[in-house]
Copies of this chain bind each other. A is one copy, B any other.
Amino acid sequence: MAPRRSQLTLRDVSEAAGVSEMTVSRVLRDRGDVSDATREKVQAAARALGYVPNKIAGALASQRVNLVGVIVPSLSNLVFPEMLAGLEEVLDGTPLQPVVGSTEYDLDKEERTLFEMLSWRPSGIVIAGLEHTEASRAMMAGSGVPVVEVMDVDGVPVDAAVGISHRRAGYEMAGEIVARGYKRVGIVGTKVDGDHRARKRIEGLEEGLRGTNVVIVDRADYAGWSGFAKGREMTAAMLERTPDLDFLYYTNDLTGAGGLLYCLEKGIEVGRDLGLAGFNGFSLLDGLPRKLATVDSCRREAGRIAGRIVAGTWTWTDEEDRRVELTPAFLPGHTMRSSV
């Protein structure tokens, strides 16, 4: 690398333009009264020099930082980038900028990332889920800025929460399964300890089936990355082990889609003899040989609302109590029979 030139400062622009540093600062931030002539002189000088303001100094002096810390478990799982897209969509109209960190579903890494982010004094925090270490909760509570926990509302938020109830999503899926006359359910889930949302969906499903004539007869969890191959593999193994299943509930659309492809190849009458359902509502999957039944996780909408909350443009209604529960649509697709 070329030896690092010492950085250009306001002083350099001020000298080049022949006005005080304060006036340069005003022009560059569009604040206060500056004559047109001065403004142009300053802008020309800044452009000519290639001046880039130092936000670190600015933030220290003004005690204002236009960053929003965003903490998600993973960027490889599409749901989180999609939530982020909703957030960015809203923040784009404000001075706020998201700073993203991922935790790999590890609460200790989450705590470290949070500490790191708070040390930059962001204007807000958006964080996935309601499960955090005690230290993380204390830091967020003490930060003095809006904290929005997204993509889940089943629990007590530090400050605000936006998302769907995964427990309810599982519960309602149970209702659909019962209404459509399935009797013997298998569950394909994940081994990831930190995936509390998947856990809650399954708990909701169990609760919804309790006291009905529908039973959960098998369950298998996989480790590692969700994909079609994993869905095939898990489905094959489960149908081998428990051949009298008539419904498979996957905690993820991608494994569900893999299961669907497997069943179609095996000539299984999907829907009639074996119902299948996933979760998330990935539009990526539109175009499968058959549309998989699923429940929309409203992740993009959650991101949008979180953005409004940190930007201060969200209006709370009384009953909401700093909690926005989104209503997930059940998308029946063509892998479940109709109600009986």
Interface residues of A (CB under 8 A from B): 1-2, 4-5, 7, 50, 52-57, 59-60, 65, 75-76, 78, 81-82, 84-85, 88, 97-102, 115-116, 118-121, 138-139, 142-146, 159, 225, 227-232, 254, 258, 261, 265, 283-289
A284 CB contact (under 8 Å) in B138, B144, B228: B228
Contact of A116 among B82, B84, B97 (CB under 8 A): B97
User: Do the beta carbons of A285 and B52 come within 8 Å of each other?
Assistant: no
Copies of this chain present in the complex amount to 2
Q: Which of B7, B82, B230 contacts A287 (CB 8 A)?
A: B230
Shortest distance in angstroms between A70's beta carbon and chain B's nearest beta carbon?
9
How far apart are A236's CB and chain B's nearest CB, in angstroms? Answer: 11
Closest-by-CB residue of B relative to A59 is B56
Q: Please state if A228 and B118 are interface contacts (CB–CB under 8 Å).
A: no
CB-based contact A76/B65 at 8 Å = no
Residue in contact with A120 in the complex, picked from B56, B76, B102, B287, CB distance below 8 Å: B56
Residues on B with beta carbons closer than 8 Å to the beta carbon of A85: 75-76
Could you say which of B60, B88, B225, B230 contacts A102, with CB atoms under 8 Å apart? B88
| A146 (CB) vs chain B CBs: closest residue | B1
Contacts of A289 in B (CB 8 A): 261, 265
Kindly state the separation between the CA atoms of A286 and B255 in the bound complex, as whole angstroms: 11
Q: Can you spell out 23 A-B residue pairs with CB atoms less than 8 angstroms apart? A: A1-B146, A2-B144, A4-B144, A5-B142, A7-B144, A52-B115, A52-B118, A54-B121, A55-B121, A56-B56, A56-B59, A56-B60, A56-B65, A75-B75, A76-B81, A100-B100, A225-B283, A227-B283, A228-B285, A229-B287, A254-B284, A261-B287, A265-B289
